Structure 1
C-alpha cells in the first residue's frame, strides 16, 4: 500500500458510535445543531466509493437528551417528531421520566391541552404510568397553573393524592384530602383506596381499618376488591392473620371477587405464623370460587417451604406448576436458589441454576447474584470466578460491595492467580472502580504481599483511562509510589500502541 493510500484511509472518519453520539449530544449547547446531529449522526461523504451506512441504533439516552434539549428550547414541533420516532422504535422501551419532563415543558409553557394529550398518549408508548420518577413537586406546579384556567375536580385531587402516597409523603396526601373537603368535593372510591393503600404501606393498619369504616358510614362509599386487598396485605405484613382472615370472610359474605394475589398473601402469612397445614384449605377455596392459582401463588408456597428448609416440597411445587400449565418464572427459581445457598447447598444450587435454561427459564441478574454470593460464602472461589465471568459476559452487573468482599477474600488467602483472573474480568466488563483497587492494594500491603502486589500491577495494564488513574492513585495511597510511578510511565508508553 502506497503512502498516499494510507493517508487516504486515515482521512476517512470513523462512524459515530452510540456512546460517542450521547457524548456529543450532551456537549452540544445549540438545540438546532443537536437535533441535526441526532437525525444524521453519520453523514455520508460525497464519495462514490463510500458504502451506505446501516441505520443508526439509537438508545434511550439519545432520545432523553434530545427531547430534553428541545423541550427546554420550546421547540415543541421538533420534540413531537422525536417522540413519534421513539414511539415506533421497537428496540427502545421508554421510561416514565421522559414523559414527565415533556408534560412539565408543556406546563411551563402554559400549553395545558398538549400536556394532557401527552398524558393520555403515554399508554401507547407501552410505558407504565406511575410516579416513581419522583416529580411530585413539578406535578403540583402544573396543578397550580391549571387552577388559573379550570376548577380541579375529584380526579385531579386523586392524582395528587396518588403522587403523595407513592412518594411516601402520606401526611401531604392527607393535606390534599382536607383541601378536597374544603372545596366541597365528594371523595371517590379511588380517593379512599389510595389513602388506605398508603396507610397499609406504612403498616398503619389500625388507621386503615378506621378509614374503611368511615368511607362506608360517613361518605357512603362501598369498598371494592382493591381496598380489601390492601387491608389483607397490610394485616398479613404486621402478623394480624386472624384479622386478615376475617376481612377475607367479609369479602365472601359481600360477594366481592378475590384474585390470586389476596390468596397468595394469606398463604405467605400462614407459613410465617407456623400454620402451613391450613394452606390446602385456601387452595380448595380458590378452586371453588373459580380463582386459578398463578405464579405468585406458587411462589408463595415455594418461599414458605424454602424458609422451612423443606426443599423437596419446594421442588414438588415447582414441578406442579408445569403440570398445571403455570410456567415458572425467575422468581420461582431464585427463591429456591437463595434457600439452597443459605443452607450451604451450593452444589445443588448450581445444578438448579444450570437446569433453568433447559426448563425454558433463563437466569436473570438476581439468579447470578444469588449463586455468586452463595459460592463466595461457601469459599468456592474458583467457581465464583467462573460465574462472575459469565455474569459480566451477559451484561449483568454484580453488587460492588460483594465484589470488594470477594476480592478481599482472595487477597487474604493469597490466591493471586484467581485474583488476576477476576480483576481482568472486571476490567473487560468496565465495572471496576477505585474502591476495588483500594481493596486490592490495601489488603496486599496489610498482609505483607508487596511482592505479589507488584507482580499483579505488572500484569494488569488496561487501555481504560479511568481504570489506570484509579490504579495509580491506589498505589500512591498505599505507599507503593515507586510502583505507581513505574506503572504510570509504562502505561503511557503502552497507550501509544493501543
Structure 2
C-alpha cells in the first residue's frame, strides 16, 4: 500500500499556521522549515505577512536572537520592499526590553533594507529612548527630526510624556504650545499624559480645567485611561464623593468601566474603612461582566489587613484560588506583614513555609518581612533559620533588621548562635 505524501504547505497556509501557533519556538521552527521534504534547491518563498507574524511573535516572547535571524533572511528578499512598520515593531520590542543599543542598531540598519526612514520609525526610536529613560539622548535625537519629516502628534506625545516623567510640567506645557503653533492637533493621549502629570503633582484643579478645555475647546472626548487617571488623583486626596461623580460621568458618556476603575475605587474605599461599599463595588464589577483580577483581590487583602481583619483576608485568598485568579507574592506578603505586626509570628511562618505548595515562591520582601517580624518578637532561633535560608537564596537582609537581631542575641547572651550568625553573614553582603 502506497504511503500518501503530505500536501506541501503554501505561503498563504504558512501565515495561517504561524498565526494560530501559540508557542513561539514551534512557530519559529515552522517558519524555518515549513516543508521538510521539499527540494532544497527550491527554497520556500515566504510571504511578507509570514515575516511580519513571526517577527511579532518572537519580539513579544523576547526571543531576540531568533528575531534577528528572521531579519537577516528578510534582508535577502528581492521580491518585495520591506515596509517601515516592520522596523517600528522591532525597535519597540527592543525599547520595551530596555535594549537600547539593539534599538539604535535596528534604526540605523533600515536604509540597508532599501527602506526609507520617516517620522514613524523616528517616533519608535524616540519612544524606545523614553522607555530606557535616556531623556538627554532623547533631546539630542529630537534635534535631527527634520531629516525624517515633520513631527506629528505621536512625536509630541512622547516628548510631553518625557517631561511629565521628569516632573517638569512647565516644559511639557511649552511642548503642548509648540504642538499647536505647528498646527498639530492634540489627541486624547496628549491630554491624558498632561492630566496624569498634573495629578501626580497634586494639581487636581488644573487637571479638571484641562479636561473641560479638552472637551469644550478641542472637541476631544475623554477615554477610560484619562478618567482612571483623574480617579486615582482624586482618591489620593480622599475626596470619594467627587470620585463617584467621575464614575457617574463615565457612565453618562457611555465609557465602559474597566478593572482599573473598579480597583481604584475599591482600594480607596477600603483605605478609609468603608468595607461594605467596597464589597458593593466588587459586586457591581462582577455584574457588569468585569472580572476581578489579582490587583482587585490584593486591594481587598490590603484593606482587610489594614483593619486587622485577618479572617476576611484569608477568605479573599481562598476565593482567588476558587475563581482561578492565582494569588501572587504581594498577596502573601501583605498577610505575613500583618501577622508579624500582631505578634502572630508562628502563623506568619506557617504561611511563609506554605507558599511554595500554593504555587508561589517567597521573594526578598517575604524573607525580609518575616525575618524582621521574628526579630521584633525576639524569636531569634526561628529568625536565624530564615536568615540562613535568605542568604543561601542570595537575598540581602536589611541592616536595621540585622542590628536588631544581633542586639537581641547579645542581650540574651546566646554566644553560640551569635557566632553561627556572624559566620552566615560573612557569606552575604549587607546593605
* Structure-2-length-normalised TM-score: 0.71
Would you say the 8 A contact 2:364–2:395 is kept in 1? no
Q: CA deviation at 1:238?
A: 0.9
Query: What is the distance in 1 between the residues matched to 2:395 and 2:163?
Result: 42
1:474 to 412, 420, 424: 424
Aligned partner of 2:203 in structure 1 is: 240
2:194 to 231, 255, 258: 231
Question: 148-157 or 229-238, which moves further after superposition?
Answer: 148-157
1:321 to 271, 277, 285: 285
Question: 393-402 or 101-110, which moves further after superposition?
Answer: 101-110
Matched, 1:172 2:122: no
Would you say the 8 A contact 2:58–2:64 is kept in 1? no
* Structure-1-length-normalised TM-score: 0.62
Query: What is the distance in 2 between the residues matched to 1:59 and 1:396?
Result: 25
Q: CA deviation at 1:415?
A: 4.1
Aligned partner of 1:153 in structure 2 is: 118
CA spacing shift, 1:101–1:332, aligned 2, 3 Å: same
Structure 1: segments with no counterpart, 5+ residues: 1-57, 64-76, 458-470, 479-498
CA spacing shift, 1:142–1:352, aligned 2, 3 Å: closer
Aligned partner of 2:38 in structure 1 is: none
Would you say the 8 A contact 1:260–1:296 is kept in 2? no
Would you say the 8 A contact 1:376–1:406 is kept in 2? yes
1:397 to 361, 364, 372: 361
Say which structure, 1 or 2, has more relative contact order (CA 8 Å, 6+ apart). Answer: 2
Aligned partner of 1:256 in structure 2 is: 220
Q: CA deviation at 1:367?
A: 1.0
Aligned partner of 2:33 in structure 1 is: none
Question: 351-360 or 314-323, which moves further after superposition?
Answer: 351-360
How far does the alpha carbon of each residue in 1:281-308 deviate from its partner, in whole angstroms, 9 at most, with x for none? 2222212211121111111111222332
The alignment partner of 1:192 has SS state of helix
Query: What is the distance in 2 between the residues matched to 1:245 and 1:472?
Result: 57
Query: What is the distance in 2 between the residues matched to 1:111 and 1:411?
Result: 61
Aligned partner of 1:197 in structure 2 is: 161
Matched, 1:386 2:347: no
1:423-462 aligned at under 5 Å gives the runs 432-433=393-394, 446=410, 447-450=412-415
Query: What is the distance in 2 between the residues matched to 1:206 and 1:264?
Result: 23
How far does the alpha carbon of each residue in 1:15-53 deviate from its partner, in whole angstroms, 9 at most, with x for none? xxxxxxxxxxxxxxxxxxxxxxxxxxxxxxxxxxxxxxx
Question: 299-308 or 445-454, which moves further after superposition?
Answer: 445-454
Aligned partner of 2:10 in structure 1 is: none
Q: CA deviation at 1:326?
A: 1.6
